[in-house]
Amino acid sequence: MSAVPPTAGSKPLTFRRFADGDSAPLPWQQEIFDADHSHKCPTYVQSTPPCQGSCPSGEDIRGYLNIARGIEKPPAGMPWQEYAWRRLTEANPLPSVMGRVCPAPCESGCNRNQVEDFVGINSVEHFLGEWAIEHQLAFPQPAARSGKKVAVIGGGPAGLSAAYQLARKGHDVTIFDERAELGGMMRYGIPGFRTPRAVLDAEIARILDLGVSARTNTRIGTDITLEQLRSDFDAVFLGVGAQSGRPLPVEGWQAPNVVTATAFLKAFNDGRMLHVGRRVVVVGGGDTSIDVATVARRLGHIDQVHESDRPEHAIAGYAAHDAALLSRRQGAEVTLTSVFAVDKMQASRHEVEHALAEGIVIRGGMAPVAVVRDASGRATALRVVKCEARMAGGKLEIKNIAGTEEDIEADLIVSAIGQAVDFTGLEVLDNGKGAVASDRNYQVQGHSGMFCGGDVIRPHLLTTAIGHGAIAADGIDRFLAGEPPEKRPKIDVHSFDLMRKLVERGLPVGAVTEPLRGTDRSGGAVHNYENRSDRYVIPHSELFLGHFGYTPRNKRKVVTLSAEQALNNFEERMLPLLEAQAQAEAKRCMSCGQCFECDNCVVYCPQTAVFKVPRAKATIGRYVDTDYAKCIGCHICKDVCPTGYIQMGLGE
Mention every residue, 6+ apart, whose C-beta is less than 8 A from residue 550: 4, 6, 10, 11, 12, 13, 115, 116
Q: 3-state SS string over 243-254?
A: CEECCCCCECCC
Residue 457 contacts residue 156 (beta carbons within 8 Å) = no
DSSP 406-421: EEEE-SEEEE-S-EE-
**Rounded to whole angstroms, how far apart are CA atoms 212 and 203?**
13
Residue 16 CB neighbour total at 10 angstroms: 14
pLDDT tens readout for residues 271-321: 777 677 788 898 987 777 777 788 887 777 666 555 555 665 555 433 222
pLDDT tens readout for residues 423-481: 988 999 999 888 899 998 999 999 999 999 999 998 888 999 999 999 999 999 999 99
Residue 329 pLDDT more than 70? no
Task: Name the 3-class secondary structure at 498.
Answer: helix
- Burial level of 87, CB count in 10 A (0-12/13-18/19+)? buried
pLDDT of 275 reads 72
pLDDT of 497 reads 84
**Rounded to whole angstroms, how far apart are CA atoms 394 and 130?**
37
pLDDT bracket for residue 65 (50, 70, 90):
very high
**Rounded to whole angstroms, how far apart are CA atoms 562 and 360?**
10
Q: pTM score, two decimals? A: 0.84
Share of the chain above pLDDT 90, in %: 53
Mention every residue, 6+ apart, whose C-beta is less than 8 A from residue 235: 148, 150, 151, 449, 450, 451, 476, 479, 480
Per-residue exposure over 384-419, b if at least 16 CB sit within 10 Å of its own CB, e if not: bbbbebeeeeeeeeeebeeeeeeebebbbbbbbbbb
pLDDT of 170 reads 97
Domains and CATH numbers, the chain: 18-47+497-532+594-652 (3.30.70.20), 149-242+421-480 (3.50.50.60), 247-418 (3.50.50.60)
Residue with the bigger pLDDT between 32 and 238: it is 238
| Average predicted confidence (pLDDT) for the chain | 85
Amino acid occupying residue 306: H
Residue 106 contacts residue 121 (beta carbons within 8 Å) = yes
pLDDT of 524 reads 56
pLDDT of 525 reads 57
In order of 209, 526, 566, 591, the CA distances from 598 in angstroms are: 42, 17, 47, 11
Strands (E), 10-97: 33-34, 37-38, 41-46
Query: What is the CB-side half-sphere exposure of residue 69 using CA atoms within 13 A?
Result: 20
In order of 138, 139, 167, the CA distances from 208 in angstroms are: 11, 10, 9
- Burial level of 363, CB count in 10 A (0-12/13-18/19+)? middle
Judged by average pLDDT, the poorest of 52-61, 181-190, 320-329, 372-381 is 320-329
